[in-house]
A and B are shown apart, each in its own frame.
Chain A
Amino acid sequence: MSEVAKKLRQTILAISHKSGRGHIPTSFSVVEILLAVYNKIRHRPVEPLWDGRDIFILSKGHGALAHYTVLAEHGYFPAEDIFNLGRLNSRFGCHADRLKVPGVEASTGSLGHGIGLAVGMALAAKIRKSQRRVYVLVGDGESNEGSVWEAVLVALNRRLDNLTIIYDDNRSHSRGLQIIDPASNFRGFGCQVFEVDGHDIDAIKDALGIPTDSVKVIIARTEKGHGCRTLVENPYEWHGKIPDAKEYTMLMEELDATTV
């Protein structure tokens, strides 16, 4: 685990413990993906609406806490602000509001919406003949929603080679409707698919950089709760659970023990 990924996980734990809000395991599964994306895309934290920017959409909106910490790491706002997560007058909710948080391009939460929005944004870039690229992170559980696959069909039909779908394959839905072989599913639709270790920032960046002539899909194999053994072993119990003081210390110790 990289130093920055570990630091952001510590921040996520601290925010969740202090605020009493947040989805820790799902946030832990996407930290490296978000770090890789924001390292790769064109964006200006001091000018979030810069016209030359690429766009990132967090379709699995419950990963917002990880998104906030990565945006803060890039200077969109101070990380201290996030500690008010979920409070009455906070800018930061457990699902992000684009009108409140700089750098957030769409308010998401209900699953299966962000990818359709991303397809519309990518289509807009094509119509304008813009170089803008659009990246969208969808979850494996989210992909139970039919609208995810509708959006993929439309993206392929419109030949949106400026769209990259990153699929967080954290196996979060093994107790429900788990998609067993998402790479085959996306390939079957006609996407160009790349599979990577979703906790290897360099591998994700490499996959993001590969040019394609169709919709690109990156299957990021991740672990829900990555970095804390307790979270990895009990992802359902911890999906929306907030650590008390003892658990917070325990999770921090587990995280500290992770090799950097």
Chain B
Amino acid sequence: MRQQFKKTIMDLAGHDEQIVLLFGDVSVYLFKEFKEQAPDRFYNLGICENTMVSVAAGLSSQGFLPYVHSITPFITERCLEQIKLDICYNRFPCTIISCGATFDYAYDGASHHCHNDLAILRLLPGMEVIQPGSRKELDLLLRTRHGSGSPAYFRLSDYPHELDLPVAFGRGTVVLDTGSQATVVTAGPILGNIVEACSDLPVNIIYFTTLKPFDAELIARYSHTRFIVIHDAFGLHEAVTSCGVTASYHGLPDTFLDCYGRVGDIRQRLALDPAGIRNAVTAFAGEL
């Protein structure tokens, strides 16, 4: 997805001189070409995420459109107060783009895992929270929200799904409707595992790329069914239940992960691989 981020931003920057990119010493080499083309709009500020967010807000106050990029926990959890006050409270809109979603960097240990970012950023007034699942979705959503005047958070993963779905900002997508009384709700790249696990099961699948603003209408359309949220992060389950429905959750435990490995290993351990998801959904549907 980072390649797509670069491609889309370079295209946008070719038409909009207000774009300024700030990097926390991450993905810097990837954007070498951008730096060469627009040296006064590319800044590797170093490893100081708090200040990077404040600086971005300061640039925004002067009419620039800053994009701030670093690894997920560092550019969300570490600098939460700067996002809350300097960007949201001051209404100096910036776009935060993270990489390394959830267990992308499983092998680096819990310091590099991040599953609370979507949940906590959803709580900030005015903040848009977007989790594209594929390169194509990232491209579309980034273009849609560029220059919107709202602060936005995009969560990128190195393990996108390969599905081609009609998505739109703020709208959910019906992936599968079997008329079932069981509805699987998900967001982001994990959709790939869910489709692989459930495409022949008698369940509905609805999919979100935007956790805020959240498409409550789509949840309402399926409110006669029972929901199971399957997500490798926190935030989606809260968004669904905020619509006034109850929903089961199949995803992360309330504990730090005490192992390493690769994202696939972790998903298997947490029953978020296709086999584990199939078991969970079958059990859920069987309870109906």
Query: Which residues of A are interface residues toward B (Cβ below 8 A)?
Result: 98-99, 105-107, 109-110, 112-113, 115-125, 127-128, 146-147, 150-151, 153-154, 157-158
Query: Nearest 4 CB-CB pairs, A to B?
Result: A120-B58, A116-B54, A124-B62, A120-B55
16 further A-B pairs in the complex, CB-CB below 8 A; given A117-B57, A120-B54, A150-B48: A99-B91, A113-B54, A115-B54, A117-B54, A120-B56, A120-B60, A120-B62, A121-B58, A123-B43, A125-B62, A127-B20, A127-B41, A151-B54, A153-B51, A154-B55, A158-B43
- In whole Å, how far is B110's beta carbon from the nearest beta carbon of chain A? 23
Q: State how many angstroms separate the Cβ of A258 from the closest Cβ of chain B.
A: 37
Within the complex, the shortest CB–CB distance from A91 to chain B, in Å, comes to 16
Do the beta carbons of A98 and B54 come within 8 Å of each other? no
Asked if B59 and A154 make an inter-chain contact with CB atoms under 8 angstroms apart, the answer reads: no
B81 interface residue (CB < 8 Å to A): yes
What residues of B have a CB within 8 angstroms of the CB of A158 in the complex?
Answer: 43
Which residue on chain A has the smallest CB distance to residue B90? A107
Complex CA gap A44/B76 in Å reads 38
Query: B interface vs A, CB < 8 Å?
Result: 20, 40-41, 43, 45-46, 48, 50-51, 53-64, 81-82, 85-86, 89-92
Nearest B residue (CB) for A107: B90
Closest approach, in angstroms, between the C-beta of B202 and any C-beta of chain A?
A: 52
Expressed in whole angstroms, the Cα–Cα distance for A151 and B57 within the complex equals 13
CA distance A110 to B81 in the complex (A): 9
CB atoms of A98 and B90 under 8 A apart? yes
Given the interface pairs A119-B54, A123-B55, the reply to whether A128 lies near B89 with Cβ below 8 Å is: no
Tell me the total A-B contact number using a CB cutoff of 8 A: 94
How far apart are B246's CB and chain A's nearest CB, in angstroms? Answer: 37
A interface SS class: helix
Q: Which residues of the partner chain A approach B55 to less than 8 Å between Cβ atoms?
A: 116-117, 119-120, 123, 151, 154
Q: A107-B89, A113-B82, A116-B55 are in contact. Are A121 and B61 (CB under 8 A)?
A: yes
Q: Could you say which residues of chain B place their CB within 8 Å of the CB of A117?
A: 54-55, 57-58, 61, 86, 90, 92
B236 to chain A, nearest CB (A): 29
> What residues of B have a CB within 8 angstroms of the CB of A112 in the complex?
50
- Complex: chain B residue closest to A99, CB-CB: B91
B232 to chain A, nearest CB (A): 31
CB contact between B59 and one of A110, A115, A120, A157 (< 8 Å): that residue: A120
The answer on a CB contact under 8 Å between B59 and A147 is no
24 intermolecular pairs with C-beta atoms under 8 Å apart? A113-B54, A113-B81, A116-B58, A116-B82, A117-B54, A117-B61, A117-B86, A120-B57, A120-B58, A120-B59, A121-B61, A121-B62, A123-B43, A123-B58, A124-B59, A127-B20, A127-B40, A147-B82, A150-B50, A151-B54, A153-B46, A153-B51, A154-B46, A157-B46
The distance from the CB of A46 to the nearest CB of chain B, in whole angstroms, is: 21
Q: Please, how many angstroms separate the alpha-carbon atoms of A14 and B51 in the complex? A: 37
Q: Which chain A residues lie closer than 8 Å to B89 at the CB level?
A: 107
Chain B residues with Cβ under 8 A from A153's Cβ? 46, 48, 51
Contact A113 B58 (CB under 8 A): no
Contacts of B40 in A (CB 8 A): 127
Residue from the list A98, A110, A154 in contact with B45, Cβ < 8 A: A154
Would B85 and A105 count as touching, CB distance under 8 A? no
